[in-house]
Amino acid sequence: MPAPRSYRRIVVGLDGSAHSRRAAAFVAWLRPPRGGRVTCVRVVEPVRLPSMPLVPAPMRAQIAGQAAAMDRSRRAVAQRQVDGAAAMLAKAGWRARGVVRIGLPLPELLAAIRAERADVLVVGARGAGAVTHFLLGSVAEAALKRSPVEVLVVK
């Protein structure tokens, strides 16, 4: 996108859904400007355990260990995915990298926009957990309202 100089830095929010893959593909279609940079962000929510006051300590440790393993594997999957998207964008001529952030999706996406000083946020219309929001995912909707920058919602 050479013309509006506002499109130097792009943050793409990925979540593994088909819509978010299309979001990355849309960016790949734009012609990268000089110094054009894309950050593919996937936010992983940490596994949260309930408090287990009556559970014996060894069992508690085991459950915590399983949760940690789950966290690790989710993070690894997420990293593979953002790296894959970054590689695809790099082929299109963008300087791209993948970032996995831990936390709640929307705050982390907004934090990524600030951290990258992005000009535009690209997200898919619906995410992985879109059963209840059948036309527009909650993250996309909230991003529309809260994002300080332009938002491209790809279907």
User: Which C-beta is closer to other proteins: that of 72 or that of 146?
Assistant: 146
Between the alpha carbon of residue 133 and those of residues 18, 112, 140, 142, the distances in Å are 15, 24, 10, 12
Cα of 22 vs its chain's centroid, Å: 13
Structure tokens at 20: 């978010």
Which member of 10, 14, 24, 30 binds other proteins (CB under 8 A)? Answer: 30
Which member of 72, 80, 117, 155 binds other proteins (CB under 8 A)? Answer: 155
Under the binding rule (CB under 8 A), the answer on residue 138 touching other proteins is no
Which residues contact residue 66 at a Cβ distance below 8 angstroms, ignoring those fewer than 6 apart?
none
Under the binding rule (CB under 8 A), the answer on residue 125 touching other proteins is yes
Residues that bind other proteins (CB under 8 A): 1-4, 6, 22, 25-26, 29-31, 120, 125, 135-136, 140-141, 144-145, 147-155
